Structure 1
Amino acid sequence: MRCYWDEEDVWFYFEVDAEGWVIRQVELEGPELTPIAAASLAEWQRACDAGRLDAYDNRFGTTAELPVSEWDGHDPEKLTSEGFEEVWGLARQQISSRPG
């Protein structure tokens, strides 16, 4: 799914599991849709276990901490898995290519 937050001019793209937890999240900012986050819960957990959480957060960001069912005031648009994968791939490529 995806949601738009007009106060910050950010599009949020989410992949969620069957219980509504976000497992991957992309954030695109401004009219240029600049990737500012492309986080994976599994990668975040591995970084945490390895003591590299700050480095991961600084580069890729984090996923939402509550399941979708507990969100207030969002109006999600459905998104195909192919649509999410396209956005995910481009965002990860751009973020990974930045000096860091």
Structure 2
Amino acid sequence: MTTWMRCYWDEEDTWFYFEVDAEGWVIRQVELEGPELIPIAAASLAEWQRARDAGRLGDYDSRFGITAELPVSEWEGHDPEQLTFEEFEDVWGRARQQIASRPS
């Protein structure tokens, strides 16, 4: 079952939003930084894999970032807040639109 959550990291003043598959792997991730909640990442694991296979990984990483490299079961020190699909999609859509509209 897919789940959606967010976590806040004080040290970086960053909100992390995650879409997680049934095995605990992050399949989409958004990072919003600072009090203005500026999107600094909005990455999709499937897109990342396609970019890697096509030899465009550097371009993808520099624009959209990457997803977490460990399943959530291996994370320490996070206190996730559960989200609905709709809440995640709203954040995902706005972050992707802002990042995609920036000059590359």
Q: Tell me which interval the TM-score lies in, with the shorter structure as reference length.
A: over 0.9
Distance in 2 of aligned mates of 1:68 and 1:92: 23
Instruction: Note if 1:88 corresponds to 2:78.
Output: no
Secondary structure of 1:58's counterpart equals helix
Q: CA offset at residue 83 of structure 1?
A: 0.2
Secondary structure of 2:73's counterpart equals helix
Counterpart of 2:9 in structure 1 is: 5
Matched letter for residue 17 of structure 1: D
Q: Name which of 42, 49, 54 aligns with 1:45.
A: 49
Q: Name which of 12, 19, 22 aligns with 1:15.
A: 19
Q: CA offset at residue 12 of structure 1?
A: 0.0
Q: Name which of 21, 24, 30 aligns with 2:28.
A: 24
TM-score of the superposed pair, with normalisation by structure 2: 0.96
Structure 2 runs not aligned, ≥5 long = none
Structure 1 runs not aligned, ≥5 long = none
Alignment coverage as a number of residue pairs: 100
Secondary structure of 2:12's counterpart equals coil
Distance in 2 of aligned mates of 1:11 and 1:99: 24
Note the 1:36-75 alignment, pairs <5 A.
36-75=40-79
| Structure 1 runs, 4 residues or longer, greater than 2 Å off | none
Distance in 2 of aligned mates of 1:72 and 1:31: 25
* Identity rate, percent: 85
Q: CA offset at residue 16 of structure 1?
A: 0.3
RMSD: 0.2
